[in-house]
Chain A
C-alpha cells in the first residue's frame, strides 16, 4: 500500500469514528432538545463525557490528515464550502461551551437549549458539505446538499437513540429505556425511508447499500426483540456504510493531490507513537469512569 492509500484509509477511519461517536453525541443533543422528559435528559447527560466533547478529536484528526496528505483537496473543499463549514464550527463552539457551562451552572436553561440547537445545526452543515462534495454538486443549498444534511442529522439521531437504550437500562430507568426504544424504531424507519430512495435517486450503485439496508432491518428486529447490546453493532454498521457508500461515490482525484511521502512518514510515526500513549491512558480513563462511587477526600 502506498503512503497516500494509508492516509486515505486513516481519514476514512477517522470520519467513521467521528460519525459513530461524535454523531451519536450530536444525536443525543437532538433528543435532549426535543424530549420533554427530565429522566430522558438525565440519561443523555449521564451518557456523555464528563469534561468536554472528546469526540471532536476525530474531526481534528481528519482535518489534519487531509491537509497533510491531500493539501489541494482540503484547500478546495474548505474554500468552496466556507459558509456551511463556518456555521458547523460555530455550532461546535456553541455545543462545546454550553455543554460545560450547563454542567457548571445547571440552572441556566438557555445553555441547554443552545446545546440542543447547535447539535442539529452542526451535523446538518457537515452532512450537507459531505454530500455536496460526494455528488460533485456546486452548493450545499442544492437539493442533494440539503438532503445530505437532513440524512446526516437523522443518522445521528438514530445512532444516539440506539446507544441510549442501553445507557437508560444501565441506569435502571425502565420508562426511559422504553422511550429510547421507541425513538430508535421511529428514527430507524425515517432513516431507512430517507437513505434508500436517496441512494437510488443519486444513482449510487454499491453493494454497501445492501449491507446498510440489511443491517438496518436487522437492527429494527433487534430493537423489537430487546437485544440492546447487539443492536449497537448492527446499527453502527447500518450508519457507517452510508458514509462509505458516499466516499465511494465521491471518487476524488487523490493521486494528483497526494503529498510527498516524507511528509506522511513523519505523521505515521507520530500517530504510532502517540497511539502507544493514547490507548492505555484512554483505557484508564474509561475504567476510572466505571468506578463511579466517589469517596470523600
Chain B
C-alpha cells in the first residue's frame, strides 16, 4: 500500500483532495502480489465493466418489471378488466425468466470480485462485507416472494396474490440500494482507518452510510425504473406502429405501452433533478472527476458550459456555484498520475445528459397530451379524437427507441462514475492496479466471457420473443370483456376508447 502515512486519517483526507497527491516514490503495485501485465489489467477492467454493464440492465428490469406487473394487477383488481390481468400475467412470466438470468449474472460478479480484484477484497472485504450480506438477504427474500408470486398466480386469491408481489418490489429496491452502498463507498471510502497499511477500526455501518450513498442510490433506482419502463414500453411501441400501419386499434398494446411509459415519464424529470444533485455532489467531493466530466482543463474563473458544439460563457460556474465568476478547479490542479481518462468520462457524461434530455422531452410530450386529454374529458365529459394520447407514428417511433436509449444512458452514466474514479478502485486510497489479480492470462477469461454472454443475450431475447407468441390464458366463461388473442394473431378491431379519465 502506498503513501500510508498520508492516509492515516482517511476522513480528513477525503474532504481535501489536495492531499490526494500520492507519494511519487511509492510503488504502484503491492510487491507481495507481483504485477499483472497491462493487457491483463485492461482485460480485467473490461471484463468487470462488461459483466456489470450486462447485469445492470437485468437488475433494472428485475426492479422495474415486478412493479409494472403489480400496477397492472392492481388495475385488474380494481376494474376486473381482463386486459390488465393478461398484461400482468405476461410481465410476470417475463420477469421470472429475466430474474433467473439476473441471478446468475449477479453470481458472476461476486466471483469476479475475487478472481479479478483479489487485492481489493483482501484489504477491504471486511469493510463492505456487511453490505453484501444485507444485499444477499434482501435478494433471497425477493427470490422467495418471486417464487410465491409466480407459483401462486392460480393458487392464491387474487388479492392475496397481489399482496405477495409487494415484498418482491421492496426487496428488489433494498437489494439494489445495498449493492450501491459498496460502489458509493468506493467513491467515498469511510468506516475504517489505515495504520501502517493495515485496515483497523472497521465500522461497516459508517462504510455503508457514506456520504455518496443517498445520491447514488436514488440516482440508480430512478435510472432502473426509467430503463425498465422505457424498454417494456418500446416493445409495445413497435406493436402499436404495426397496428397503425394495419389501421387497427389494439387496447392490449395501448395499455401495455401506457403503463410502463408513464412510469419512465414520471421518473424522467425526477432524474434530471437528482442528476443535478449528483453533479454537485461530485463537484464538491471528487472535483477531479467533475473536471473530467465537464472537460475543465485549467483551473479558472467564470468557467463556460461546453456541450458538444455549444459553449455558453460563465454558465458552468453560474450553474454550480450560482456565481458567474466562481473559480472551478480544472484537471491541471491535480497531478498527472491521478487523472482519469478524461475524454472517456466527458463523452459518456455528455451521452447520458443528451439522452436524459431527449427522454425528458418525450416524457413532456406524453404528459402534455395526457393533461390536454384529461382537461377535455373534464370539460365535455366525453373524449374526442383530437384529445387522445399521442398514438401518432412519430411519437411511437421515438418511443420505440426510448428503451435502448435509456439503457445506453444508464451505461454511459455508469461509465462516467466508474471511469471517472480511475486510477483509483477505492478513491484516494487504493489504485486499481494494486487490486488486480497478478496471475497471468486474465485476457483469455475476458474472451470466453464475451462469447458466453453474447450467447446468453441472444438466447434470452429469443426465449422472450417465443414466450410472447405463446397463447394467452384460456378465458373463463364469465361475461368479462374479451382478452386479446396472441400478439401475432390478427386482432379484432376494437375502437372502444379506454376510459382513462375516470
Contacts and interface: CB of A to CB of B under 8 A. Distances in A.
Partners in one complex: yes
Interface of A: 49-54, 56-57, 59-61, 63-65, 67-69, 71-72, 74-80, 82-83, 85-86, 88-90, 92-97, 99-101, 104-105, 111, 259-260, 262-264, 266-267, 270-271, 273-274, 277-278, 281-282, 284-285, 288-289, 291, 293-297
Contact of B476 (A63, A291, A296): A296
B114 A101 contact: no
Interface stretch (B152-160, B304-312, B313-321, B380-388): B152-160
Contact of A57 (B105, B140, B439, B466): B140
A75 B115 CA distance: 8
B145 to A, nearest CB: 7
Contacts of B357: none
A68 B133 contact: yes
B11 interface: no
B438 A79 contact: yes
B425 to A, nearest CB: 13
Nearest to A295: B154
11 contacts: A56-B103, A57-B140, A74-B118, A79-B437, A79-B438, A82-B439, A82-B445, A86-B111, A263-B202, A274-B141, A289-B151
B464 to A, nearest CB: 8
Interface string B99-111: 1110111011011
Contacts of B124: 71
B148 interface: yes
B127 A263 contact: yes
A111 to B, nearest CB: 8
B408 interface: no
Contacts of B99: 51-52
Select the residue from A83, A100, A289 with max chain B CB neighbours within 10 A. A100
Contact of A105 (B113, B133, B467): B467
Interface residues of B, number: 77
A288 B276 CA distance: 47
A123 to B, nearest CB: 15
Interface string B395-410: 0000000000000000
B200 A260 contact: yes
A51 B100 CA distance: 7
B150 A68 contact: no
Nearest to A90: B452
Contacts of A69: 126, 129
A288 B152 contact: yes
B93 A67 contact: no
Interface of B: 85, 93, 96-97, 99-101, 103-105, 107-108, 110-111, 113-116, 118-119, 121-127, 129-130, 132-134, 136-137, 139-141, 143-148, 150-156, 158, 167, 199-205, 437-439, 441-442, 445, 448-449, 452, 456, 459-460, 463, 466-467, 473-474, 476
Contact of B115 (A54, A85, A99, A263): A85
B143 A63 contact: no
B459 A89 contact: no
Nearest to A111: B459
A75 B107 contact: no
A96 B494 CA distance: 41
Contacts of B452: 90, 93-94
Nearest to B474: A296
Contacts of A80: 439
A89 B124 CA distance: 23
Contacts of B130: 68, 263, 266-267, 270
Contacts of A263: 126-127, 129-130, 202, 204
B137 A60 contact: no
A296 B96 CA distance: 20
B140 to A, nearest CB: 5
Given A51-B100, A52-B103, A89-B108, A104 B463 contact: yes
A274 B118 contact: no
A64 B155 contact: no
Select the residue from B111, B113, B150, B439 with max chain A CB neighbours within 10 A. B111
Nearest to A99: B100
Contacts of B93: 104
Given A56-B104, A270-B134, 18 more contacts: A52-B143, A53-B100, A57-B140, A75-B118, A82-B115, A86-B111, A86-B448, A92-B104, A93-B456, A97-B460, A104-B97, A260-B202, A262-B204, A266-B204, A281-B167, A285-B144, A288-B151, A296-B476
A93 B107 CA distance: 8
Contacts of A52: 96, 99-100, 103, 143
Contact of A284 (B118, B136, B148): B148
A49 to B, nearest CB: 7
Contacts of B448: 86, 90
Select the residue from A61, A278, A297 with max chain B CB neighbours within 10 A. A297
Given A97-B459, A288-B155, A72 B122 contact: yes
B133 A267 contact: yes
A278 B459 contact: no
A89 B145 CA distance: 25
- Counting from the closest, the 6 A-B pairs by CB-CB distance are A68-B129, A78-B114, A75-B122, A259-B126, A274-B137, A71-B125
A277 B319 CA distance: 47
Contacts of A50: 147, 150-151
A203 B336 CA distance: 56
